[in-house]
Amino acid sequence: MAKNQEGMTLIVKTITRLTVGLILLFGIYIVTHGHISPGGGFAGGAIIALSFIHIMLAFGKEVTFKKMNQSVMSFFESVGAIMFITFAILGIGSGYFFLNFMLKGKPFKLFSSGLIPLYNLAICLKVGAGLFIIFVILVLLKIPKKGGEK
């Protein structure tokens, strides 16, 4: 504990360690149940990004980058965009752009409504990775430059 001086105090670190998993789990729940209950890709993606921002505010940047590298984030954002476009283009094969071609299933069940859960997943990846990249750029790329100017 003595070597890890970066970040906030011990109380904040302990509380963060206890709660950040629950926040991440809540985000995943919001995304996967987006078509049968309030929520969806936007809300879930923002909550997942907020959980990683929570880790970064409490523990500092080294611990966060051990869990979530910058190349991993850009990979996730690209995967989200490519998934979204791919599902949209696959609709052309049976009709038109953005056609929901999969079976609808039974309503009020988790596996229903065709492509909409997959779209939710793609948007979650895109929004979460995008917001986290914005935050990382705003917070981290500033500090070495400021130190260099002094």
Partner 1 sequence: MLELQLLLIFMIIGAIIAVKEKDLLSSVIAVGTVGLGLSLVFLILKAPDLAIVQLVVEILVIIILIRATIRRDLPFSTSGRWFFNTLVTFVFIGVFLVFIYLYIKDLPQFGQPIMKIAQRFIAEGLRETGATNLVSSVILDYRAYDTLGEATILFTAVMGVLAVMRKVGRKK
Partner 2 sequence: MSVYFLCLVLFSVGLYCILRKRNLIKIIIGIVIMEYAVHLFFILVGYRMNGRVPIHSPDQTVLDMVDPLPQALVLTAIVIGLAVTAMIAAIAMRVYEKYGTFDITKIRKLKG
Residues that bind partner 2 (CB under 8 A): 37-38, 40, 42, 46, 107-108, 127, 130-131, 134-135, 137-138, 142, 145-146
**The residue count for the chain:** 150
- Specify the residue, 10 or 38, whose C-beta has the smaller distance to partner 1: 38
Q: What single DSSP character describes residue 146?
A: H
- Long-range contacts made by residues 8-13, C-beta under 8 angstroms, separation at least 24? 8/57, 8/58, 12/58, 13/58, 13/59
Q: Which does 49 bind (CB under 5 to 8 A by kind): partner 1, partner 2, none?
A: partner 1
**Applying CB under 8 A, does 65 fall inside the site for partner 1?**
no
Interface residues with partner 1 (CB under 8 A) are: 30, 34-40, 42-43, 46-47, 49-50, 53, 57, 77, 80-81, 84-85, 88, 98, 100, 104-105, 107-108, 112-116, 119-120, 123, 126-127, 130-131, 133-135, 137-139, 141-142, 144-145
